[in-house]
Structure 1
Amino acid sequence: MNTPLHPEELAAAEVCFASVGALLYAEPSVETVAEAVASRQFAEAPYAADNAWACRGLEQLDQWGAEAAEAAGAQTAGDAGTPEALDPAATAALLAASPAFVERVDALRREWLRLFVGLGTPEASCLESFYVEPNSHMFGQNTLAVRAAYKRHGLQVERLHAEPDDHLGLMLGFVAHLIAAERAALEAGDADRAAALADEQRVFLADHILPWLAVWHYAVAKHGRTAYFRGVGDFTFGLAACYAERFNIRFDEEARVFKQRR
């Protein structure tokens, strides 16, 4: 059974899935990280605010941002004693011009490559195939199934056949796409289509993300060296766990797996 969500809740979940998908998929850049830190993007999230893992993830991300800003001699909106009207764009420019901040983002870039890409075997691969295919074979049946799901919605990875379709960042972005479509159907008064899209999300999460997410999360926690990427790992896990509950799927802490409740 799927629990219906209001359009506002769906919009909040959509933003979170799209944002964390981008954090995992794209190599960190000075500009994007500076914008996130300057605006205090990680101070709070519109969805999963009551999930312990998600909250812990946000705390770590915001902590990393505060320390990076302090090292660069910058203040961000919302800091104690800082005017709320502080211009985030000006702060982002100041951060991007700071050698100390650039050095910290360079360290993030190296960590992103080590964790998720790897010169050999990544320490926390974001590919579903790495965890579920025999010998971690890429472009296998699971990848093709994910590709088919994208195709049904008119989507295709930019470098088809050159990059795996089953990257966690891409798949979280796809869930965001489905959530947006469900919200649009609800707002158009098409309850049947909204229900079908919700069920498609349930199947996609249960088939392609949740079975290996706990193992990935553990790997990020074990090998992550910065609060930034440990925070990304925690928030990703908490967000998915929180959203899965609308489909009566809950993470079993003892068994360390997601289970469908009857």
Structure 2
Amino acid sequence: MKMQDKIAIVTGSAAGIGKEIATTYAREGAKVVIADMNKDAAEATAQELRGTGAQAMSVAMDVTSEDQVNAGVAEVVKAWGGVDVLVSNAGIQIVHPLEEFTLAEWKKMLAIHLDGAFLTTKACLPHMYASGRGGSVIFMGSVHSKEASMLKAPYVTAKHGLIGLAKVIAKEGAKHGVRANVICPGFVRTALVEKQIPEQAKTLGISEAEVIKNVMLKETVDGEFTTVQDVAEVALLFASFPSNALTGQSLVVSHGWFMQ
């Protein structure tokens, strides 16, 4: 097993991409922490994983709250003795033309995506450093970490910012064996994306089918959505890679929507 006994915290993992990553890690032998704002949903996912024989626990965590982040990480360390892998996955989407965004919406988006990555990393790094085992910090970026789309100014800004943050962590963490990388998925048909389809259709004055075909999947090589399994496989690669050779990188998984 690629992650035997590694302790992995995955934020926003009660459902969607985060849940698939946590499930993949558990299948590979990790002790997984379902960290989510919705404690009941987090515990339901943890129970589901424990039902398969995996080791899983849940913690309530609003990633924009330093107190909740610190308390959640402390709970994990008390229960299992450390942290080996952090996946900062929690995120939301708000879609408007830039001039229609309120400052409150802008700050909310940056707080969840960027502040959340900063706070969870800051809480986990001391435990990774102290363990002597090293560790892996993984941020959930997006093709929008590389490319812009209309109607998503704060989202694109935040996702670009994650690449810079990961590069700094990679340099600072190297002497401790801590790697930092960013996963950059294309459109994954989660609840987050399902919500965007009618919103973009209304804003752009086109049908929902046209949003999918001509906006979301237009630049892919095959007109296909990226799957949660696709993303989880990249998360497994980053978490289980054995050396500092793979650090400070961002890997796009998007059916060719963005090519480097």
- What TM-score comes out, normalization by structure 2 length? 0.32
Higher strand share: 2
Higher helix share: 1
Higher relative contact order, structure no. (Cα contacts within 8 Å, ≥ 6 residues apart) = 1
